[in-house]
Structure 1
Amino acid sequence: MHNPRGPLAGRAVSRVGYGAMQLRRLHRDRAAALAVLRRAVELGVDHVDTAQFYGNGFVNGLLREALSPCDNVMVVSKVGGDPDPDGPHPIRMAQRPEQLRASVEDNLASLGLDRIPVVNLRRTDVGPAALRAQGDQVVDVDDQLAEMIALRDEGKIGAIGLSAVSLEVLRRALPAGIVCVQNAYSLVARDDEDLLRLCTAERIAWVPYFPLGGEAPGRAKVTDQPAVVAAAEAVGATPAQVGLAWLLHHAPNVLLIPGTADAGHLEANLAAATIALDEATLSALEAG
Structure 2
Amino acid sequence: MAPTMFRIGGDPGVRRLGFGAMHLPTEPGPARETSRAVARRAVELGVTLIDTAYLYGGGANEELLAEALHPYPEGLLITTKVGIARSGPSDEWRLDGRPAVLRAQVEQALRRLRVERIELLQLHRIDPETPLADQLGTLRDLQTEGKIGRIGLSEVTVAELAQARGIIDVASVQNRYNLLDREHESVLAACEAAGIAFLPWRPAAWGESGAEAEIATVAAELGATPTQVALAWLLGHSPVILPIPGTARIDHLEENLAAEDLVLSLHHRDRLDRQAAPA
Question: TM-score normalized by structure 2?
Answer: 0.90
Give the 5 Å matches for 1:57-206: 57-67=59-69, 68-82=71-85, 91-124=93-126, 138-175=129-166, 176-206=168-198
2:42 is aligned with 1:40 = yes
Cα 1:146–1:251, aligned 2, differ >3 Å: closer, same or farther? same
Corresponding residue for residue 244 of structure 1: 231
Q: CA deviation at 1:88?
A: 9.3
Residue among 50, 53, 66 paired with 1:51 = 53
Matches of 2:59 and 2:86 in 1, distance apart?
8
Matches of 1:26 and 1:262 in 2, distance apart?
16
What residue ranges of structure 1 are gaps of 5+ in the alignment?
A: 125-132, 215-219
2:251 is aligned with 1:253 = no
Note the alpha carbon deviations across 1:161-202, whole angstroms, 9 max, x for none: 000111111011124110110000111111111111110010
Q: CA deviation at 1:70?
A: 2.9
Corresponding residue for residue 263 of structure 2: 276
Alignment identity in percent? 39
Corresponding residue for residue 127 of structure 1: none
Q: CA deviation at 1:140?
A: 2.4
Question: TM-score normalized by structure 1?
Answer: 0.87
Amino acid at match of 2:155: A
Amino acid at match of 1:52: Y
C-alpha contact (below 8 Å) 2:116/2:147 kept by paired residues: yes
Note the alpha carbon deviations across 1:23-73, whole angstroms, 9 max, x for none: 136653322111111101100011110112212222111211222233431
Corresponding residue for residue 226 of structure 1: 213
Corresponding residue for residue 18 of structure 2: 17
Q: CA deviation at 1:207?
A: 0.3
Matches of 1:238 and 1:32 in 2, distance apart?
23
Note the alpha carbon deviations across 1:232-275, whole angstroms, 9 max, x for none: 01111000110111111100011011111100000011011111
Matches of 1:69 and 1:269 in 2, distance apart?
22
Farther off after superposition, 31-40 or 51-60? 51-60
Amino acid at match of 2:131: D
SS at match of 1:181: strand
Matches of 1:14 and 1:115 in 2, distance apart?
20
Residue among 211, 224, 239 paired with 2:203 = 211
The root-mean-square deviation of aligned C-alpha atoms, in Å, is 2.0
Runs of 4 or more, structure 1, over 4 Å off, are none
Amino acid at match of 1:93: L
Note the alpha carbon deviations across 1:74-116, whole angstroms, 9 max, x for none: 01000111368xx797x43222122111111111111111111
Corresponding residue for residue 33 of structure 2: 31
Matches of 2:274 and 2:91 in 1, distance apart?
38
Q: How many aligned positions are there?
A: 267
Matches of 2:209 and 2:174 in 1, distance apart?
18
C-alpha contact (below 8 Å) 1:26/1:32 kept by paired residues: no
Corresponding residue for residue 217 of structure 1: none
2:257 is aligned with 1:285 = no
SS at match of 2:119: strand
Matches of 2:73 and 2:231 in 1, distance apart?
29
C-alpha contact (below 8 Å) 1:212/1:223 kept by paired residues: no
